[in-house]
Amino acid sequence: MAKGVNSAVAKTQEVIRLLEKHAGHPGCHIADLNEQIAKIKTGNDFEKKQALKHVAGLTHPKCLGDVYMQDFSWREWSAILEKLRQKCVRAFNQLEKQ
């Protein structure tokens, strides 16, 4: 996998760990994120781009941004999600250029 894609996967895995540790009811989001990671790791370029786009969409304030995270302020959680979105967008763009 390309460096940008690896970075997006690593950040997604970090967010999953944070959800598991600090969120009240993260189950459906964790399952969805894990499914997208699998597509990014094993899919063709089109499937990888679609999965990256999906993960970036999950960072929206009305999706993962709405999850209550113990030990994090809304601003801190939003910053983490923005970094994830940026990494997914960069990886998507990297795949587009190939």
Phi, psi of 84 (to 5 degrees): -65, -45
Cα separation, 46 vs 56, in Å, equals 15
Per-residue confidence (pLDDT) for residue 34, from 0 to 100: 96
Residue 67 and residue 23 in contact, taking contact as beta carbons nearer than 8 Å:
yes
Cα separation, 94 vs 88, in Å, equals 10
Q: Is the dihedral of CA 94, 45, 43, 35 positive or negative?
A: positive
| Residue ranges covered by each domain of the chain | 3-97
Residue 26 pLDDT greater than 90, yes or no: no
Quick check: pTM over 0.75?
Answer: yes
Per-residue confidence (pLDDT) for residue 1, from 0 to 100: 76
Cα separation, 54 vs 37, in Å, equals 10
